[in-house]
Amino acid sequence: MITGASSGIGLATATRLADAGWLTLLSGTDRTRLDDLADRTGGRALPEDLGKPDGPRRLAEAALAEAGRVDALVASAGLGWRGPYAQTPSDTLDRLIEVNFAAPLRLVRLLLPGMLERRHGRIVLLGSIAGQVGVRDESGYAATKGGLAMFAESLWYELRGTGVGVRLVLPGAVDTPFFDRRGTPYQRDRPRPVSADRVAEAVVAGITTERDRLYVPHWLGFPARVHGAAPGVFRRMASRFG
């Protein structure tokens, strides 16, 4: 099951998995795009708004009714907003928390018992480098992605030896409609945006290999490690170079 499948990373992932022979359960809010993707890939369209508290429950029930089980969850639905935190609209903040953070936790809670019973499954969470090092004027977004990273880390310990794997994919800027939808174009020189297909490649690797933390591009793992080992040094570098 792939959330956010109607565009961007979710769409690219759905296409790759369908080409690899997976039956894909496609979720998003754009029914027309989902239907078109389902027609092209042989997947099943399950439109749902994960910004609503009961959206994950409805989606999980629809997926299980449609396919009987979910062997892999790719939680790629996400929203962004850029600007001073004090000026973040309250409804925007609420939706960031629901879609980026609460919805993946709720979906995992609903689908994990079946995976544990079968002793087989993959949970792939789409984080962000922003959730590893923080980004100026993206405090709310970075907080949701940082929380998701700690959820993945904690769940990884819990599920060791169960047959269910937890994967965290950590892209930098990605060339998708994400920035148009957040209302502010991408304005930084670094990191340069990568393609959605490149992130989808990492998602598939998370499902089919034992790699549990994947940075896209790979070099983003270096600033994340510097931030973890020497946060003061990282902040001085970030303040100077952006």
For the chain, what is the radius of gyration of the CA atoms? Answer: 17
Is the Cβ–Cβ distance between 134 and 90 less than 8 Å? no
Residue type, 141: Y
Residue type, 90: S
Contacts for 242 with CB less than 8 Å, ≥ 6 apart: 188, 189, 190
3-state helix, strand, coil in the chain (%, to 5): 55, 15, 30
Up-side HSE of residue 4: CA atoms within 13 Å toward CB? 25
215 catalytic? Reply is no
Is the Cβ–Cβ distance between 72 and 1 less than 8 Å? yes
Structure tokens at 235: 């902040």
> Per the residue annotation, which of 141, 157, 186, 215 is the catalytic one?
141
Is the Cβ–Cβ distance between 214 and 205 less than 8 Å? yes
Active-site residues: which are they?
A: 141
